[in-house]
Structure 1
Amino acid sequence: MDFGKYGVWQPAYATTPDMARHLERLGFTALWLGGPEADLAGIDDLLAVTDNLVVGTSIYNIYRGDAATLVDAYRRIEDKFPERLLLGIGVGHPEQTKGYGTPLATLQAFLDDLDTAGLPRERRALAALGPKMLDLARERAGGSVPYLVTPEHTRRSRVALGPQKFLAPEQKVVLESDAARARALARPRIKHPYLGLVNYRNNLLRLGFTDADLSGDGSDRLIDALAVHGEPSDIARGLRAHLDAGADHVQIQLVSANSAPHPAMSEVLLQVYDEAAMRLYESLADELGL
């Protein structure tokens, strides 16, 4: 599969075939879908209207479905659109999951079921944050698709995975040159829910951030690292930092002023993907030379 160097991350629920077609025309080579349905509903429609766009799940939460459902969905899509789907898989978070088990053992059992069903290891990647999950990604998957990370995490991941495994971190971007304004846009998207989730907190502490950085609304240092801001040239430099650190590809998550409260959690702001968002993608694609 040809992922190219840059793709776009969007929630699955907000992504339409028209958006997928437009992003491919801008030169983006991959579309990463957050929170897909258990049966990957809708991915067929995105692939049907694009020529070569690769779709990845980022991530498929194993608590939302079982391995048999995922394998059936993979085969359905692979039969119609061969070599255009990568399964990014993760174990979710105890704060959001009833009956949450030991992460490593639970994911190992899920991968056992995928192996039994014959799903190729190179067609799946793990949302690996810590050392044990990175080891599992190296041994039992095609690579890693970590979320809410920095170039330093990318560097460590490349060392852990070795030179051959696929590595595609997610990076939030704010096309805003005023630092205070950019932080005001990014901070609520990072605080809720991520700073309240132990898996992300532990990973950020491993990366050298402190409890003080993670307290309250998050320090400026933390927000600036997790959401690169500035002119398109500044954003491009921040994205290339991941490539320089060993990434094969970067998932770009747009943060802009146009947002709406989550219908069930008013403190969580959701990006609105409208014409203004598409114009921001266009300016970024131009700067990246896509």
Structure 2
Amino acid sequence: MAFDSLGRFGVWRGYTGFSPEEAREYEQLGYGTLWLGGSPPADLPGVESLLAATETITVATSIVNIWVAPAKEVAASFHRIEAGFPGRFLLGIGAGHPEHTGEYRKPYDALVEYLDELDAAGVPAERRAVAALGPRVLKLAADRSAGALPYFVPSAHTAKARTLMGSNALLATENKVVLTDDTNTARTVADPAIQLYLGLTNYVSNLRRFGFTDADLAIPPSDRLFDAVVAHGTPEQVVARLTEHVDAGADHVAVQVLGDDYLPALRTLAPLLAARS
């Protein structure tokens, strides 16, 4: 799968949050990829209905959780989808969070074993990607898959990841958006999501690597942290923030609009993002 098949910008929502009708509209608006967030089950329900409703858009998982979705079952789903829609599905996998997984052990070792199983089941390395934050897993993603899917990261992480992974690996990062120039409204919408991730060790540890302090990582988070992980403001300001990741080395940015008015926001942003693509 060539990275340009993802487009420069995509749409990130929970895996049950896409309808075929919306998928068609996102494609018409120019978004290149639908990112199915959360932890889709191993049979990957709904992927084919989204692909059938569209013509060119890529569907990707962000991410399949290796602790709850057995590799052999996921591989079977991959091959089923590939048979019907060749070249239009990217399998994103990841190790999730220790707070949510009773069986959690060394995530690096578990990822290696899972990738080994995908190899044995015939899932091509270039058709899968790995959720990665720290240097070791970023390098693993570059070596054993198309590349990395960072989540909840500032653009400084994107720049560091590109340096670690080299120029040939896929780097597709997520960024949250609230389309309003009222900062208080933006924080009211986004703070609950941010606070959720500040309760997860891997995200907090990663943010510390980039200079965020206890004061930044408090509940509620500092303005400095909020501005680093949520693009907010006018449409032009939001697009400028999203393209910071591209300027830092990202191949693709998965746009996660927070709040109930996600579709109007994505419609508004689409032509501005297309101009930056």
1:29 positional shift? 1.1
Match in the other structure for 1:186: 190
**Quick one: which of 264, 267, 273 aligns to 1:282?**
267
1:212 positional shift? 1.5
**Pairing 1:117-196 to 2, within 5 Å after superposition:** 117-192=121-196, 194-196=197-199
Q: TM-score normalised to the size of structure 2?
A: 0.95
SS in 1 for 2:215: helix
Match in the other structure for 1:30: 33
Contact persistence 1:152–1:245 (CA under 8 A): yes
1:108 positional shift? 0.7
Deviates more, 1:72-81 or 1:110-119: 110-119
> In the TM superposition, what whole-angstrom CA distance separates every residue of 1:200-243 from its partner, at most 9, and x where no partner exists?
00001011111111122211111111111001100110111000
> In the TM superposition, what whole-angstrom CA distance separates every residue of 1:5-62 from its partner, at most 9, and x where no partner exists?
0000010112111111111111111100012222111100000010001011111111
**Quick one: which of 78, 83, 93 aligns to 1:79?**
83
Q: CA RMSD in A?
A: 1.0
Contact persistence 1:4–1:249 (CA under 8 A): yes
Cα distance between partner residues in 1 of 2:209 and 2:64: 24
Runs of 4+ in structure 1 deviating by more than 4 angstroms, as ranges, are none
Contact persistence 1:26–1:282 (CA under 8 A): yes
**Quick one: which of 241, 244, 259 aligns to 1:241?**
244
Match in the other structure for 2:19: 16
1:286 positional shift? 2.0
Cα distance between partner residues in 1 of 2:109 and 2:236: 43
Contact persistence 2:9–2:31 (CA under 8 A): yes
SS in 1 for 2:36: strand
Match in the other structure for 1:261: none
Structure 2 spans left out of the alignment, 5+ residues: none
Contact persistence 2:216–2:222 (CA under 8 A): yes
Match in the other structure for 1:60: 64
SS in 1 for 2:220: coil
> In the TM superposition, what whole-angstrom CA distance separates every residue of 1:173-192 from its partner, at most 9, and x where no partner exists?
11010122212211111102
How high is the sequence identity, in percent, across the aligned residues? 48
**Pairing 1:42-61 to 2, within 5 Å after superposition:** 42-61=46-65
1:289 positional shift? 2.9
Q: TM-score normalised to the size of structure 1?
A: 0.91
Equivalent position amino acid for 2:217 in 1: L
Structure 1 spans left out of the alignment, 5+ residues: 259-275
Match in the other structure for 1:268: none
Q: Is 1:208 matched up with 2:193? A: no
Contact persistence 1:62–1:89 (CA under 8 A): yes
Query: How many residues are matched?
Result: 271
Deviates more, 1:44-53 or 1:212-221: 212-221
Contact persistence 1:176–1:230 (CA under 8 A): yes
Cα distance between partner residues in 1 of 2:69 and 2:273: 37
Match in the other structure for 1:271: none
